[in-house]
Amino acid sequence: MTTKVTLAKALNLGLRKAMEADDKVLLMGEDVGKLGGVFRITDGLQKDFGEDRVIDSPLAESGIVGTAVGMAMRGYRPVVEIQFDGFVYPAYDQIVCQVAKLHFRSQGRVKMPMVIRIPFGGGIGAVEHHSESPEAQFAHTPGLKVVAVSNPVDGYWMIQQAIAHDDPVIFLEPKRQYHADKAELDDTVEPGPLFASRLVRPGRDATLLAYGPTVKTCLTAAEAAAGDGTSLEVIDLRTLSPLDMGPVYESVRRTGRAVVVHEAHVNLGLGAELAARITEECFYSLEAPVLRVGGFDTPYPASRIEEEWLPDLDRVLDAVDRSLEM
């Protein structure tokens, strides 16, 4: 069946499908029940699946993730919602020291099939702590897998795939896209694998690497550049840990140039890892150093100037110009 859905609706439908498919799937978080979450991603699910499966939690993130660990040990598949990216830090210890390490610590005897959903990124005019991009902190942690969705169709499938996966997945949702664009969702089309990057726009002159909210930014930039005669290829990374570099190497060997675009701070962000790997694998194909466009190395600014801080079409094209001039 084909319907036009927003990312928020697609995630809601995907969660519903996952809960129907496996009664061990539980949702837990702040305000996820009656309210349906502050972004309404879990709208209607408590009504249909009951309070035992859609659990409104006390306001304590470490408590949410820590109790989810115990539920996973008991054989459940908890999907926890962290209300905003900047609120994940109280749970950081449980995520890094427990969620990520239990499989390793137990030599594979204890599985941690947990999904930690985090609305991430800026551009919604919010107050402090509501616009952050903490992905590198989790991608740096062995034992976690990290994915970022960029569009409704991926949202629908990737959430189901992450829930069915036996390893813990940090699931990043670009909050400013939740209610932005609608896409055709055909739930009879089999999805591709979860941990795979995807070429979303072919091009010849340079490769743009993006994920989450910056995929749209890069597609818009590529469209604008096409008007000026520059052909940009865009890859949606989708999986941040593990990285799926095959399509990236193939692309960069053709174009000879790569620009990484993310909202997270540039210093030691995903772009640094991508630049290092591209340099290791595509050194003799590179016509220019890998460039990075991202958030500046300051705390996220007050929202009246966030559009200056966030990578936008112009900053992406500026980096492309610098790459092409080298």
Partner 1 sequence: MTHADGGFGPDLVEVFGPRQEDGGPELIQLLSPEGERIHHPEFDMDFSADQLRGFYRDMVLVRRIDVEATALQRHGELGIWAQLLGQEAAQIGAGRAARPQDFVFPTYREHGVAWCRGLDPLKLLGLFRGVDHGDWDPSEYNFSLYTIVIGAQTLHATGYAMGMQRDGVVGTGDPERDAAVLAHFGDGASSQGDVNESFIFAASYNAPVVFFCQNNQWAISEPIERQSRIPLFQRALGFGFPGLRVDGNDVLATYAVTQAALQRARDGQGPTLVEAYTYRMGAHTTTDDPTRYRVSDDVERWKLKDPIARLEVYLKRNGLADEQFFADLAEEAAALGHTLREGCKAMPDPKPLDIFDRVYSETTPELVAQRDGFAAYLATFEGAH
| Dihedral angle of Cα 22, 8, 64, 194, to the nearest 10 degrees | 60
Q: Shortest approach of partner 1 to residue 146 CB, angstroms?
A: 11
Minimum distance from residue 73 beta carbon to partner 1 (Å): 6
Q: Is 193 in the site for partner 1 (CB under 8 A)?
A: no
Please give the structure tokens belonging to residue 274.
């991508």
Of 29-37, 64-72, 121-129, 250-258: span binding partner 1 (CB under 8 A):
64-72
Report which of 135, 68, 127 is spatially closest to residue 98, judged by C-alpha positions: 68
Site for partner 1 in 301-320 (CB under 8 A): none
Joined together, the tokens standing for residue 201 give 């726009």
Q: Based on the residue annotation, tell me whether 179 is a catalytic residue of this protein.
A: no
d(CA 47, CA 230) in angstroms, rounded, equals 51
The span of 99-107, 149-157, 209-217, 251-259 binding partner 1 (CB under 8 A) equals: 99-107
Pick the binder of partner 1 from 38, 40, 90, 183 (CB under 8 A).
Answer: 90
Question: What single letter denotes the amino acid at residue 63?
Answer: G
E runs forming strands in the chain? 2-5, 25-29, 54-56, 77-81, 115-120, 145-148, 169-174, 183-186, 198-201, 206-210, 232-236, 239-241, 258-265, 291-295
CA dist 16 and 295 (Å) reads: 34
Q: Report d(CA 137, CA 172) in Å as an integer.
A: 13
Residue 113 and residue 246: Cα distance in Å, rounded? Answer: 26
- Residue 127 binds partner 1, judged by CB under 8 A: no
Residue closer to partner 1 (CB basis): 77 or 176: 77
State yes or no: residue 73 binds partner 1 (CB under 8 A).
yes
Q: Which residue has the tokens 């705390």?
A: 299
**Is residue 94 a contact point for partner 1 (CB under 8 A)?**
yes
Q: Which helix (H) or strand (E) holds 152?
A: helix 152-164
111 binds partner 1 (CB under 8 A): yes
Cβ count near 204 (within 10 Å): 12
Query: Does residue 238 bind partner 1 (CB under 8 A)?
Result: no
For 321, phi then psi, to 5°, come to: -60, -45
Query: In the stretch 14-43, what mask flags binding to partner 1 with x, by CB under 8 A?
Result: ------------x-----------------
Residue 195 Cβ vs partner 1, minimum distance, rounded to whole Å:
7
Find the shortest distance in angstroms from Cβ 196 to partner 1.
11
Catalytic residue among 130, 140, 165, 262: 130
104 touches partner 1 by CB under 8 A: yes
How many of the chain's residues bind partner 1 (CB under 8 A)?
Answer: 45
Q: x/- site string to partner 1, residues 44 to 63, per CB under 8 A?
A: --------x----xx-x-xx
In angstroms, the CA 268 to CA 196 distance is: 22
The residue written with tokens 């094209």 in the block is: 317
How far apart are CB 212 and partner 1 at their closest, in Å? 20
If the CB atoms of residues 167 and 318 are measured against partner 1, the closer one turns out to be: 167
Q: Is 140 in the site for partner 1 (CB under 8 A)?
A: no
By CB under 8 A, is residue 166 in contact with partner 1?
Answer: yes
Binding site for partner 1 (CB under 8 A): 26, 52, 57-58, 60, 62-63, 65-76, 78, 90, 93-94, 97-98, 102-111, 113, 142-143, 145, 165-167, 195, 242-243
